[in-house]
Chains A and B, each alone.
Chain A
Amino acid sequence: MTGLYIVIGVVVILAILLFGTYNSLVRLRNQTKNAWAQIDVQLKRRHDLIPNLVETAKGYMKHERETLEAVTNARNMAQQMSGSSVGERGKVEGELSSALSRLLAVVENYPDLKANQNFLALQEELSSTENKVSFSRQFYNDSILRYNNKTQMFPSNVIANMTGFKAGEFFEVSVAAEREAPKVSFS
């Protein structure tokens, strides 16, 4: 009889471990989804702020047409790719970031623009949104790290494979252009 009890006990313990691991996989995956949604909110906010910024700057920076156009184009491209995968969005958002930083570097030459209250408020909002994008990105990457660890390390990877949990993608904002120094023309 005791043999039977032992077997039942082992089965019960295994079942508990199974449920526990499955639940923690679900919880971690939901955390990554939540973290991604937060990034999405911040990225969308950035897309919405940029047209305003370009309009305000246009009046003062009449000779910087290409820089302003580059920002607008990059922003439109990023907005179009709103529904794509994590890796693709990383690329377009990175290009938008570099276009923006070129624009902000050029703004330093226009003291009138810098004294405009509207522009200052917009710039603060924008740089804060950039910060929030990078903070939510690091939070997302941390949660992806925890989730990937759980899906790939033994013994939870057994359960993950059985129930179809796949590893997630890191959100890398790859900016190839960041390496070059911004070219500021003093024309």
Chain B
Amino acid sequence: MLGMGLLLLALGYILGLYFLYSPTAGLIIALMIWAVLNFIALFQGDNIMLSMAKAKKISRDDSPRLYNIVEEMKIASGLENMPAIYVIDDPAPNAFATGRNPEKAAVAVTTGLLQKLNRDELQGVIGHEISHVKNRDVLLMTMCSILLGTIVMLSWYASRMLFFSSMTGGRRRSSSGGGGSAQLIILAVGIVLMILAPILAQLIYFTISRKREYLADASSAQYTRYPEGLASALEKISASTTQLKAANKATAPMYIINPFRKKGRAASDLSSTHPPISERIRILRSMAGGASFADYDNAYRKTRLTSKGVVSPSALATSGTVAVRDAEPQRTDESQYKIEQSREISDLLWRQNNYRTINCECGTKFRLPPKFKATTVRCPHCGIINKVT
């Protein structure tokens, strides 16, 4: 992010120098544009993203399993407040987190995700999203995209102004008259910066995004003490070919894996916001001996064959040794479990659409549409009259 900031300042400086003969004026204008964009973007809020994805907020009773998992991750990560939990009705499995500060955060998952993953895997995914909240990644990526936007905007306007001034047949003469070659140099540097700055800024933006994803994977492994959970969740998610309906290019970086990964874009592209999934899975699976940040860092360096780690030195210093825990005991009746899971999710969706449920004593469950007016319901199995609450 520092690199992008420097790019912005350099651009402002040079452009100020060329057009306004005052580099400080250029710097100030660049910073002012950045501040205004910041103001607008940061206060738009998370609601826009959530409503674009058609996410519905759920309470504890709606889905105790999901609520419990989020609460477990909240305790493990040390978040102060419980994040709001949203469910998106979409068969494509994916999840995202949003929220500028850890106190007012939100986590959203799709029904496809709830359906396909078991408890350990769901815990891994939620841990990944919660760590985005905890590490303030949302704030970081928002500010980086604002920086990027400012740089792009400045370059665009500068190129327009340059175009105009050369069209009108001549540059403004410098007051001293003797700085002709200096002006040319400034012009050359300015043009180079104008072309390169947006490109460089984009590259930096994507690199930052990928690095934060690795960090979120590491944090999730540490919180859950079970990196295999996230690894197998990523496997299941990437195997699914259903396209997520509500994602678009603007919101894509926030999801756990790139919703557009099948659209002909090579996953190891420099312009990809997420690292390639196979690599993420390989790193998680090669974490030998422990689940701490240091173990993830070692696995990262081994898999990517690089000496540069991904976890900051301060985090490495304070992470102790963390033993991997056992997996949750698997249910022996796998098909029954899947049926129950589907039932739970469809119950959730019925409730979201304001259908009420009544349990009869014989075990039958009634589902009443929102406009149901009668005060009693007769059970078709046992004949008992139940009161509608």
Q: Interface residues, chain A, CB within 8 Å of chain B?
A: 38, 42, 108, 120-121, 124-125, 127-128, 131-132, 134-136, 138-139, 142, 145-146
Contacts and interface: CB of A to CB of B under 8 A. Distances in A.
Interface stretch (B3-11, B72-80, B168-176): B72-80
B64 A125 contact: yes
B75 A128 contact: no
Given A145-B320, A146-B318, A135 B72 contact: yes
Nearest to B69: A128
11 contacts: A38-B75, A121-B64, A125-B64, A127-B328, A128-B68, A128-B71, A128-B72, A131-B68, A132-B71, A135-B76, A145-B320
Contacts of B73: 135
Interface in B91-113: none
A165 B73 CA distance: 31
A127 B331 CA distance: 13
A132 B64 contact: no
B261 interface: no
A124 B72 contact: no
Contacts of A42: 75
Interface in B300-328: 318, 320, 322, 325, 328
A121 B67 CA distance: 13
Contacts of B389: none
A132 B75 contact: yes
Contacts of A142: 320
A120 B69 CA distance: 16
B72 to A, nearest CB: 5
B225 interface: yes
A125 B340 CA distance: 16
Contact of B75 (A124, A136, A145, A146): A136
Contact of A124 (B65, B76, B225, B318): B65
B58 to A, nearest CB: 16
B64 A138 contact: no
Interface in B325-359: 325, 328, 332, 340
A124 B332 contact: no
Nearest to A42: B75
Nearest to A101: B329
Contact of B72 (A120, A132, A145, A146): A132
Nearest to B223: A135
A138 B72 contact: no
A124 B68 contact: yes
Contacts of A125: 64, 68
Given A108-B332, A142-B320, A146-B318, A124 B71 contact: no
Counting from the closest, the 9 A-B pairs by CB-CB distance are A128-B68, A135-B76, A135-B75, A131-B72, A136-B75, A132-B72, A132-B75, A135-B72, A139-B78
A138 B65 contact: no
Contacts of B223: 135
Nearest to A35: B78
B74 to A, nearest CB: 9
B156 to A, nearest CB: 48
B93 to A, nearest CB: 21
Interface string B160-174: 000000000000000
B64 A124 contact: yes
A139 B76 CA distance: 6
Given A128-B65, A128-B69, A132-B72, 4 more contacts: A108-B332, A121-B64, A124-B65, A135-B223
With most chain B CB atoms within 10 A of its CB, the pick from A121, A131, A136 is: A131
Nearest to B332: A108
A127 B72 CA distance: 11
A139 B68 contact: no
A42 B328 CA distance: 19
Most chain A beta carbons < 10 A, residue from B64, B65, B75? B75
Contacts of B318: 146
Contacts of A134: 325
A121 B76 CA distance: 23
B80 to A, nearest CB: 10
A138 B68 contact: no
A139 to B, nearest CB: 6
A138 B332 contact: no
A22 B72 CA distance: 32
A84 B328 CA distance: 31
Nearest to A141: B320
B64 A139 contact: no
A138 B71 contact: no
A38 B65 CA distance: 20
Nearest to B64: A124
Contacts of A131: 68, 72
